[in-house]
Amino acid sequence: MTIRIAAIGTSHWHALNDPAYLRQLARMPDVQLVGLHDDDLAVAQRRSSEVGGPPAFVDHRQMLDDTRPDFIIALGRHDRMAGLALELLDRGLPFLMEKPMGLNAREVERVAIEARKRRAFVAVPMPQRFSPFWAQAQRLRAADAFGPLSHMYVRMNRFTPKRYPAWDCPWMLDPTLSGGGCLRNLGAHAFDMMAQFTEEEPEVVAAQVSHLARCERVEDFVTVMLRTPSGVLGTIEIGYAYPRLPTPDNQGPGRDKLLDGADGEWKVAGRDALLMAKDGMLRIVTRDAEHNLPGDSSVSPSFQLLRDALDRWQRGEAPLVGVEDCLRAARLTDDAYRLAGVMLPN
């Protein structure tokens, strides 16, 4: 069966950069891209020229009516995501929507309530769930190798936010349209990992933000402290403060890993073992030994998450990562901003 897919809001940089959803879909033999939308027709046409020339549309409703897709990839501006999600739910269309799914948790909650009511298929991309780090962490946990968990650490310090205007997304520098800076954009990956791995609901106990590196309206560095009910601690560092400029060479496979940022590190630590991902390597430390393993995936995590979402939808299963997971991350993001004294957009 050929899956007919349309994409909405393709000026979003993830259409062709970083996870590059459109490029990943174009590689799948059972997928046909039947339409690409953007409010700027020239952008949609440029995106189309990169992935085999599907029709470009400036009106997403016309695209949905004309192409009658089976599945939707929903991107676009953060301030429009919740409204778009509700519209797709009204149409009964299954979709994958980029996080954060709204400006704040209140908007995402509206989507979650409606999706729950309709038992709809709403997937959210969390590529770290398909990373070698996550797979190794799961294996160690299944073997009870960590012993009691102590703490988790995530650092994702990425390139300057000025890359977003260059990628047709100037709205990312306006907090009223984006919902915030690096934390709103990237924090969900870290929050999701901690909640899933501990199987607990972490709470934000402290947070601080800085604008000093880039002097933009959105923050460029954040630290967040978390704690689970059982006492596992989490330290999250998210930034746009990496000094190197992004280039095509370091936006694909290579030094700039999607999962750990340009300057990144992921750790899970217990009494008996430590697992760390850094610079494309995995390091496992136990009481008796240290092991270094390749940390790169032979298949893009973004390709894997798209394939997983489509396969689960075809089988009539729930998505691996859904709107409830996105809502948890949105609530933690909002809590961190409040503790840091950041005014949230209404």
Give yes or no: residues 60 and 95 share one domain.
yes
Q: 203-247: per-residue pLDDT in tens? A: 999 999 999 999 999 999 999 999 999 999 999 999 999 988 766
Residue 344 lies in a domain: no
The domain that holds 75 is classified in CATH as 3.40.50.720
Residue 86 lies in a domain: yes
Residue 144, burial from CB neighbour count under 10 angstroms (0-12, 13-18, 19+): exposed
| Whether residue 258 has pLDDT greater than 80 | no
Give yes or no: residues 311 and 293 share one domain.
no
**Separation of alpha carbons 76 and 10, rounded Å:** 6
pLDDT for the residue numbered 318: 98
Give yes or no: residues 122 and 179 share one domain.
no
pTM: 0.94
Q: How many residues does the chain have?
A: 346
pLDDT band at 256 (very low <50, low <70, confident <90, very high): very low
Are 172 and 228 a contacting pair, CB within 8 Å? no
Give yes or no: residues 134 and 162 share one domain.
yes
Residue 346 lies in a domain: no
Give yes or no: residues 69 and 132 share one domain.
no
pLDDT band at 295 (very low <50, low <70, confident <90, very high): confident
Per-residue pLDDT, averaged over 296-325, amounts to 95
Helix 182-198, helix 323-339: angle, nearest 10: 120
pLDDT band at 174 (very low <50, low <70, confident <90, very high): very high
Q: 18-73: per-residue pLDDT in tens? A: 899 999 999 999 999 999 999 999 999 999 999 999 999 999 999 999 999 999 99
**Separation of alpha carbons 275 and 295, rounded Å:** 11
Give yes or no: residues 151 and 96 share one domain.
no
Give yes or no: residues 63 and 18 share one domain.
yes
Per-residue pLDDT, averaged over 140-156, amounts to 97
Percent of the chain topping pLDDT 90? 89
| Whether residue 251 has pLDDT greater than 50 | no
Which of 229, 226, 240 has its CA nearest to residue 333? 226
**Separation of alpha carbons 66 and 88, rounded Å:** 15
pLDDT band at 248 (very low <50, low <70, confident <90, very high): low
Range of the domain at 287: 127-297+332-339
| Whether residue 255 has pLDDT greater than 60 | no
| Whether residue 106 has pLDDT greater than 70 | yes
Residue 325 lies in a domain: no
| Whether residue 85 has pLDDT greater than 70 | yes
Least confident of 127-131, 153-157, 251-255, 280-284: 251-255
Residue 102 lies in a domain: yes
For the chain, the maximum distance between any two Cα atoms, rounded to a whole number of angstroms, is: 63
What value does the mean pLDDT of the chain take?
94
**Separation of alpha carbons 48 and 306, rounded Å:** 19
